[in-house]
Amino acid sequence: MRRCRCVVVLFDSWHSNKLLKRNTKWSHGSFTLETNSPHLVYQCCPMDPELQKTSQVLWTGPVSAGDARHLFLDLTFTLLSCLFPSDCREDFSVYLFQSDNEYARPRIHESVRVRIKGEKHFPTEYLDGPIDWEKLRRALNTVRGESLGPVSRSVFQLGFDYIGPCLLLSSFRVYYKKCPPSLHNLAVFPETTRGGELVLGQCVDNSVQMGLLQRRCGTDGVWGPSAGHCICREGHQTKGDVCEACKIGYYKDTPGHRDCTKCPTNSHSDTEASVSCPCLSGYNRTEAHSPSAACTANVTKSQLVPLNTGRSYRKETEEGRWQHLGISDSLKLNLKKVMVERSSLSLGQILGEGEFGSVYQGILKQSTGINQNVAVKTMKQGLDSKPELESFLREAELMQGFNHPNVLRLIGISLEVCSAGQIPMPMVILPFMPHGDLRSFLLNSRHRKNPVYIPLQVILKFMIDIASGMEYLSNQGFLHRDLAARNCMLCDSMRVCVADFGLSKKIYASNYYRQRAVSKMPVKWMAIESMAESIYTTKSDVWSFGVTMWEIVTQGKTPYPGIQNHEVYDYLNQGNRLKQPPDCLDKLYHLMFSCWFLNPGQRPTFAELRSLLQELLSTLPILEDQGEVYYTNTGAHRAAAQTTSRAEVGADDTRNFYVVVLDDDMDTGSDCERTLET
């Protein structure tokens, strides 16, 4: 554990003039009590014995609590000794009053009271004649880290009440503590103020998460022990707090803490981060041998061995296809785990086409003999450069680890050999969604000959499903970056699954991703900071979720009607947002609007959005006929409906994308967002 040095001061009596509401008991002046330089000192030394026994609180002005979750107090003061201790009543208290209204009048009975004890006192003669500040300084009491309790409101005021002969309040400050950024055992936890709450961590680049990675940030700024851990992935070894790629000539075939191993005899790896060492020319090892086995010379003639036309031959062909792809060893190894034989996959009609490929309906013959309806995503022929192939397959690599009812899962990968000499065409196999994408569903409900009303309960359920899926992705450390109704799919039970991870990114040491290349981006769904600085965080996905909520309420309308792509940023920067749709509940629009706050930190989390939407749904009557929502994209007209809606989506989506050109020398920023100290 590492003790926090991150202290955010909210109020310092030496640097603030917010002490208002003075009264007859309290006064102030500039003295050299605590230091040799004059500073502000507050004193409560009434001459009237009766006034000494009364309570009169000195209150600060309103102070913003900012991101604080728990407040602490440092205090320096000194007290006058009582002439007759038996008759002397002495009491020094600090009050914390909290409110959401900066103009609220502080009340003692609504405040938290903290009693302050002083061990040191000074005699009366210290105040007779010229004051000896050095002697008074030796009588100062210092209180450090006094807990004022948790923060429950946005504004607080501090009150001081003293009953007794004389108190000199030399200085005080109110602050909160943050747990610092932590990098330990390959696990990264961000700087946080969430005292007492569990914080999700992330594994460093080229490592694998084992179990749920979480850790509690204490209110005192100290991290507790972490649950879960990280290990370096294949082709990488632990070096300090990073996973280092295996050097050329070394390999590592499994995840774990062990170091890279030198290639066995008569084998060699030609690239860094190798997961195996191919045999040198003239040497081989059989499939039964482990990657650590040495390669031996070929001593038999191939013509003496009969060709095995069974399974081993197909495996060899499949291996050749993967080698022909020319992708990285680590990506190849990960995708082999979900490899599907091409012979078990049959392609049917085209469900949709895009700029980079097509989606087919297909049938997957399973080992049980049962046929499964699937959707097959393919790359367009001609898009066969290594970056394009890697990008296409990286999406599948991301998806293979997803396991959530509201996130589209990966079934497998297959390779199609088009013709001799050509690069095999990868095919991503996904669950078949008979109702298509959410936006097509919404458009079809509105553009039917007899438009159908979608009940509010169903609308909220769609939103809850998406928020739940995005909460899962966010907790896994993923940024979607292209959340929209068109990228959400509807399964048989009308459950929504978040899909299309072509722009998704896994973030590690930082809590953001900065795009540094030219790319087509969905401008009308992008957060304002993403358009301005190309920075993406979970909170920019929250912005996109707000736009998706607006799409759902309007049954698939295009955001910002009448506004061109190049005008969107200026429109938002002037404080404008999407207008409240007709018949949209105020509560629902307010929740939607909160996703578009200018400050990303003020936007809700996906967990909060899901909870608030569920709370809103619970106030509505339960639908008596659940079947009334199964009205579109079904039956004989399904194919026509999909064709019509997808044609509209295709034409409309082209207008809603634009090319973002970024400078290569842009500042990547710090690893965590800093909180300003005031």
Residue-wise pLDDT tens digits, 177-232:
988 898 888 999 988 876 667 788 889 999 988 877 888 888 888 888 887 789 99
Task: Please state, in angstroms and rounded to a whole number, the distance separating the CA atoms of residues 501 and 377.
Answer: 12
Angle between helices 606-618 and 538-553 (to 10 degrees): 30
397 and 446 co-located in one domain:
no
User: How many Cβ atoms sit within 10 Å of the Cβ of residue 544?
Assistant: 24
DSSP summary character for residue 629? G
Amino acid in position 191: E
Q: Give the per-residue pLDDT at 669.
A: 32
pLDDT in tens, 584-616: 988 899 899 999 998 898 899 999 999 999 989
Q: With respect to residue 472, please indicate whether it lies within any of the assigned structural domains.
A: yes
User: CA 673 to CA 539: how far, in whole Å?
Assistant: 13
CATH of the domain at 132: 2.60.120.260
Q: State yes or no: is 482 an active-site residue.
A: yes
Q: Residue 34 CB: number of other CB atoms within 10 A?
A: 20
Q: How many CB atoms neighbour CB 466 within 10 A? A: 27
102 and 206 in a single domain? The answer is no
Domain boundary pick from 414, 431, 448: 431
Residue 609 CA to residue 466 CA, distance in Å, equals 10
Split at pLDDT 50, 70, 90, the class of 670 is very low
Task: Give the mean model confidence (pLDDT) for residues 227-249.
Answer: 91
Residues 68 and 169 in one domain: yes
Tell me: do 375 and 489 sit in the same domain.
no
Distance CA 391, CA 588 (A): 37
Q: Examine the fold and report which residue of 431, 455, 487 is the final residue of a domain before the chain moves on.
A: 431
Co-location of 444 and 479 in the same domain: yes
- pLDDT tier at 645 (50, 70, 90 boundaries)? very low
CB 190 within 8 A of CB 153: no
**Strand ranges, E, within 249-339:** 250-251, 261-262, 283-284, 296-297
Summarize the confidence of residues 143-158 as an average pLDDT.
92
Residue 319, pLDDT > 70, answer no
Residue in 538, 525, 464 with CA at minimum distance from that of residue 498: 464
Residue 673 falls within a domain, yes or no? Answer: no
Residues 538 and 553 both lie in one domain: yes
Can you give the pLDDT at residue 250?
Answer: 93
What percentage of the chain carries pLDDT values higher than 70?
A: 75
Rounded CA-CA distance 271/287 in Å is: 22
The CATH number assigned to the domain holding 218 equals 2.10.50.10
Q: Which residues pair with 7 in a beta bridge?
A: 177
Query: Percent helix, strand, coil in the chain (nearest 5)?
Result: 25, 30, 45
Q: Which of 161, 437, 465, 482 is the catalytic position?
A: 482
Q: Is residue 671 part of a domain?
A: no
| Residue scoring higher pLDDT (286 or 129) | 129
Does 504 have pLDDT greater than 60?
Answer: no
Q: Give 358-376 pLDDT, tens digit per residue.
A: 888 889 987 777 888 888 8
Based on the fold, state whether residues 505 and 398 are members of the same structural domain: no
Say if 261 falls within a structural domain.
yes
CATH number at residue 375: 3.30.200.20
Written as one letter, the residue type at 249 is: G
Q: Is 140 a residue whose pLDDT tops 90?
A: yes
With respect to residue 314, please indicate whether it lies within any of the assigned structural domains. Answer: no
Is residue 156 very low, low, confident or very high in pLDDT (cuts 50, 70, 90)? very high
185-194, 292-301, 666-675: the lowest-pLDDT one: 666-675
CA–CA gap between residue 433 and residue 90 (Å, rounded)? 75
449 labeled part of a ligand binding site: no
Token pair for 451: 């438009």
pLDDT band at 22; cut points 50, 70, 90? low
82-101 per-position pLDDT tens digit = 765 555 667 899 999 999 99
Rounded-to-integer distance, Cα 143 and Cα 220, Å: 16
Query: What percentage of residues in the chain have a pLDDT greater than 90?
Result: 27
Kindly state whether residue 594 falls inside one of the protein's structural domains: yes
Domain around 168: 4-177
Query: 597: buried, middle or exposed (CB in 10 Å: 19+, 13-18, 0-12)?
Result: middle
Looking at 141, 157, 177, which one is the last position of a domain? 177
Residue 276 lies in a domain: yes
Find, among 114, 133, 112, the residue nearest to 122 by Cα. 133
pLDDT at position 487 over 80: yes
* 220 and 246 housed in the same domain: yes
Asked if residue 5 has pLDDT above 80, the reply is: no
| Alpha carbon 584 to its chain's center | 28
Per-residue pLDDT averaged across 161-168, rounded?
90
Query: Does residue 4 surpass a pLDDT of 80?
Result: no
Are 513 and 402 contained in the same domain? no
**Mean pLDDT for the chain?**
78
Please check whether residues 584 and 607 belong to one and the same domain. yes
pLDDT tens per residue across span 320-373? 555 555 566 666 666 677 778 888 888 888 887 765 678 888 899 877 778 888
- Other beta carbons within 10 angstroms of residue 511's beta carbon come to 20
Quickly tell me which residue has 């569920």 as its tokens: 614
pLDDT-derived band of residue 561, with 50, 70 and 90 as boundaries? Answer: very high
How many domains does the chain contain in total? Answer: 4
Q: How confident is the model at residue 76 (pLDDT cuts 50, 70, 90)?
A: very high
Using one digit for the tens of pLDDT, what is the confidence trace for 373-405? Answer: 888 888 766 555 566 666 667 667 777 778 888
Radius of gyration of the chain (CA): 33
Q: What is the mean pLDDT of residues 423-435?
A: 81
Task: Classify residue 199: in a domain, yes or no.
Answer: yes
Amino acid at 657: F
Predicted local distance difference test score (pLDDT) of residue 671: 26
- Is the pLDDT at 644 greater than 50? The verdict is no
User: What pLDDT does 525 receive?
Assistant: 94
Shared domain check, 152 and 11: yes
Same domain, residue pair 444 and 424: no
More confident residue, 579 or 499: 579
